[in-house]
Structure 1
């Protein structure tokens, strides 16, 4: 990726938890391309072996089946621990809340323990969900959030908030070099559309390409900011790899917001679908707006997204990954 030309991962060993997930597999692939030796850890709760199948014969790639919420030691020195392991689809929150809580609390603590033992840098993928129903737009990192600890989304947003607190505790008590990325909606190839795992972009593609009704929750006027996966990975690895960012938390996302209706209509248009819109009740605590302030990413990382949403959606369509993951 051209946005990483000034960062080298040569001769560095990187442990990626959740490495066979959507973002994790892209991170593993990019790190290998940048010269790193990569240990991919995944229990395949929501990740897929096929996401990293094309990497398994790479001489610098090791794939291990393990749940990071249980203790783990790689048995060799690592230079960077990237903790991405977590179910993340809102449709999973009702069905797997305990696993989600564990991966972001116990899992974060275990991953931090590995980083501390081997004196490695630690990188945590947090989420825009920690802001809840935000009251400031675009939302900066200084906003403390408006969340419902008892709500159905609490298993994810509160676990991520706890994960951030774990990171800062290790930073303050042990001097660990931690970096936290708050990720806003990302899309691209390898993202699942099926069942409880389905995210909005691949689900819309799947429905549109089968000429099925497009599922709209609420009236569709709620907004999201969609960042193409290559832009997202570039931002994440700049935050993980640049010097002088110890203890920093940075929003990584696209500052352009679209309504869910906008997204549905774009996908129907790109696929030439005959799908109609099908309206359903809004899930509890679903944020009505979500758009990041990326001033800090621009200033500290020299990063901003480059891929226009229609170009990104077209690349996703052409990859055939937005509609094939039916189970």
Structure 2
């Protein structure tokens, strides 16, 4: 599969790389890291990355301006996106060929070539394997290493999550041999704004653990306004309840103008099926979803409690 993808990359002079909407470090790390690797390996190729530029992650990279005409003879690669509705920039179908590279459990089977490996910690780890495991090795730069390392530590929770394998640690060890400022990168990824820190305090005051080991919090538009925190910034709070003794799973609901965003996390019970039921998806222990009303949010909590009750039997 790796050699098939490398052959496609070699074949096309124009390559446009997409990833999922509302990007996290792995989405950006794999997307832009792959761009940097291809550019360093093939100096004559046009390589672009597209999608919304997330301000809180602009230190990783900003997106390119990609005109429609570039797609006419282009290879399109989509990184870190299990299902087509989540692909940022719907022009991904406009190229000559389409490749999917992803580590989430398969949801949509799309692409002329599809490399899906849920055993990988991150799509950034897969991109590293792509660059170093094929018949023809690609060129890994300091900047590519920084981006891939950011993606790996982002999706492994700094190597705390069960998705971290011996191979993951080996890849990370190889990446830190390159010249980039790891201390600065960690600070950029994990420093918390005072407003977000205050909202974290609010989340802890709302802790109410059910007998099934479930807790949840509803961040309404009024609460976000009171604490001066955006919906996007609440992503930094998703792990707040992770260290609480006795917790099995938790949900953070975030009210947005047209929907309620659902951030689901678990310490054991698999929740990606529940996320799929509520217009989302993800990993067994880390998923996201969307609901339309607070009544629907309440039903999701009921369903989550049932999953956790079954898990603890």
Report the structure number with the largest CA radius of gyration: 2
Structure 1 or 2: larger helix share?
2
TM over 0.5: no
Which protein, 1 or 2, shows the higher relative CO under an 8 Å CA cutoff with sep ≥ 6? 1
TM-score tier, shorter chain, comes to 0.3 to 0.5
TM normalised by structure 1 equals: 0.33
TM normalised by structure 2 equals: 0.34
